[in-house]
Structure 1
Amino acid sequence: MNKMSLFGWVCAIDCIFLVNSLKAQNSVQVSNTLDFPRSEIVSISSTRLKSFLSKNKETDLRIKDSHDKYLPIQWIDDDGDGKNDELLFLTTIEAKKTNTYTIVGNAEIPVPEAKVTAYSRLVPERVDDYAWENDKIAFRVYGPKGQKEALEGVQGSTLSSGIDIWLKRTDQPVINKWYKGYLTDPMYYHKDTRGEGYDPYHVGDSRGTGGIGIWNNDQLQVSRNFVTAKTIAEGPLRTVFELTYSPWSEYGVREIKRISLDIGSNFSRFESRFETEKPVPNYTVGITLHKNEGEVKINDKDGWYLHWEKIDDAFVGEGVVVNPAAVKKSWARKSDVADQSNLLVVTKPSNKLIYYAGFAWQKSGQVQTRKDWEALLQKQSMIIAHPLVIKIK
């Protein structure tokens, strides 16, 4: 079996950095080793820019491409200590090619605004959802107030740690607009009347697209709603946030889930960190099969898992990508019990689980057939296994 390197997965789409010299640091070379073009966010650790930053302020840094065009950039403070940890910019690079970018220190040059954005926030106006999106897709998960109201029988509340998806067919943000509409019309974003998309996706007690659990004794043990949420980066190139969960399952699992989404990607990155009261047999990632009317394809060799289903009058492809070296088994579990049919990917127990979950809607124009969606999943698995190679000179 062809195994992806563990290092490639721990880094995910964070790139492999090769630093030749700290003498000048005035250029970045980005190499694509794969045989198809890629459009991705480049991440450079602040420590890799030590020489440049010893002579320039972070706020002075600019990135210029080979056509003398300045690019949108984003700094992220990953650990909340008040110091930036990584610099982001977008590269579009052909197959088997290398792009060179110039590092410029000039505060008088304006940083261009990104034409599309990644974004996330807590949504108190709809109980306490947490929602996130980019130019292609949107998701949400459910919080503690929603859980409390659901247990009290309040109509419209949700008790679930499954991952909801919103079907977009615009590259512009919809979260704020749709939730504002919800305040006067609770069905506002459940109707596709504005040409932007809508939310017809049912999660319930299923895993939605990318929820997790523990598979044991022929059942899936899952957490309830998240209990706290912290936004780490709103965007515009990457949005990052963390969710915490109360101890769940018979194993007393304490979970912190960090989720990120880049512009241009159909996949959110999920990183769950665990502490347990006793050893767990596995962690299992799922995709709801709803009423078992869609198509499933399992690729343990490359670590991707596909569901293709019709929702209303168009098809949606959902998928999960996991390091194949971490997978124990996978199958489509079909049940007569509502919300218990899921495509399940059982992974080896570890204190950290990294995977990607995403989707594409036929009406967005991103895919038209199941084969299109399969090709996107295959490319995603290859992108993760073969990060862009970065040289700073």
Structure 2
Amino acid sequence: MSTLKTPVLVTAFMFASVLTANLHAQESITITVKNKLGFNRNEVVALTNKDIAGFLKGKKEADIRIKNTETNALDPLQWIDYDGDKKNDELLFVANVKANGTAKYMLVNSGSTPALESKITTYSRFVPERTDDYTWENDKVAFRTYGPDAQQRTEQKRENGTLSSGIDIWLKRTSESVINKWYKGYLTDPMFYHKDRGEGYDPYHVGASRGTGGSGIWEKDSLLVSKNFISYKTIATGPLRTVFELTYAPFSPYEVKETKRISLDLGSNFSKFEVSHTAKKSVPNYATGITLHQNEGKPEILTKDGIFAYHETIDGTYLGEGLVIAPNTIKDAFVNKSKTKDQSNLIVVLKPEAKVTYYAGFVWEKSGQGANSADWNAMLKKQAEVIANPLQVTIK
């Protein structure tokens, strides 16, 4: 996520009016992006419509383009309407900024220039063809979780049931979208996406565990968790970001109602979870976690850094799962091993705020993104630094 810094207005209202009028007349504005960290960054940047309202006035959003001033080439962009009012709230583009450097981009009004179509994308959708999964992906990773039909099938002891609010991961080794292809294959072969045909596969078991990033409440040495989601809302899919919401029925003695807004940016190994709660009784905490499967892997807990990792081997290849969380939101973190199937998790206990935010992701050796625990730990450390030090954006 990026922090937006607009130029400081140090004069009176009259000057502000002149500045706004000038923006209206401009056919382009400059966006400067600053990176304070010591490594190169390639991240999605969000400009709110409010911050560029002057420039947009009198122009069609469909005519707006983003240009890299260094290459003079157009880059992909994406508009997002978060609240469903048919008015866009943010304009997204990807900023490529060198270590401790700056990069400049231009928003231009150029409807005569064809918009750039990205060959890779983010994507998410509800999947009724396999009961009712909700699945999401980008060019690096893919995830899914489970809906009410899958829950009912389990409770009624019918086939294809899944009772879990845990987060499943799909191991990709292609930058292309696989969701539609793999589910199409499932229709004729239920084991289709469990076999690697060169694009990756799903060997990951979730069950009643937290998978990678499932949530709950920790109480009396037990994790209280919701059942499957009861409704979904797809907010955005596109070349740079997919966003959706899942809602859950009240759970636990606290009657917690949970809504998860999940987003995944292009180029990122991490889904962002923004989990909102309401409860009828005061809740001691909220929690998230990572399944330990058969307790054969290596968990790592770095609470002061907000980094939590699990290193394991699946089918002979390395898989690293992880959580990155702002340290000031954490109450505790520990490994909970259990003799009960799917109940062994690395647990991170969070303060009982109305909304908690964390990032959950993974790397798979065959993806070519990371080959071992050292690679994954470095990726987790970078993600923590990125969260703590968002790109700084100035509009002129």
- The match for 1:167 is 171
Kindly report the root-mean-square deviation, in angstroms, between the aligned alpha carbons of the 2 structures.
1.0
Contact 1:18–1:389 (Cα < 8 Å) also in 2 = no
Question: Moved runs in structure 1, 4+ residues, more than 2 A?
Answer: 14-25
Does residue 134 of structure 2 align to residue 114 of structure 1? no
- 1:1-393 maps to which residues of 2 (within 5 A)? 13-20=1-8, 22=20, 23-24=22-23, 26-66=29-69, 67-192=71-196, 194-393=197-396
- Unaligned ranges ≥5, structure 1: 1-12
Q: In 2, distance between residues paired with 1:19 and 1:278? A: 45
Give 2:157's aligned amino acid.
G
**Structure 1 counterpart SS, 2:304:** coil
Give the CA deviation at 1:54: 1.3
Give the CA deviation at 1:390: 0.2
TM-score, normalised on structure 2? 0.94
CA shift in 2, pair 1:14/1:144, >3 Å: farther
- The match for 2:11 is none
Give 1:205's aligned amino acid.
A
Give the CA deviation at 1:149: 0.8
Q: In 2, distance between residues paired with 1:327 and 1:174? A: 35
Q: Structure 1, residues 117-172: CA drift from partner, whole Å, max 9, x if none?
A: 11000000000000000000000000011111111111221000000000001110
Contact 1:330–1:345 (Cα < 8 Å) also in 2 = yes
Give 1:130's aligned amino acid.
Y
**Structure 2 counterpart SS, 1:70:** strand
Contact 2:303–2:327 (Cα < 8 Å) also in 1 = yes
> Which protein, 1 or 2, shows the higher relative CO under an 8 Å CA cutoff with sep ≥ 6?
1
Q: In 2, distance between residues paired with 1:273 and 1:306? A: 24
Give 1:178's aligned amino acid.
W
Give the CA deviation at 1:369: 1.2
Q: In 2, distance between residues paired with 1:80 and 1:302? A: 36
Contact 1:17–1:44 (Cα < 8 Å) also in 2 = no
Give the CA deviation at 1:376: 0.3
Q: In 2, distance between residues paired with 1:33 and 1:51? A: 28
User: What is the aligned residue count?
Assistant: 380
**Structure 1 counterpart SS, 2:320:** strand
Give the CA deviation at 1:68: 1.1
Q: In 2, distance between residues paired with 1:34 and 1:111? A: 32
- The match for 2:14 is none
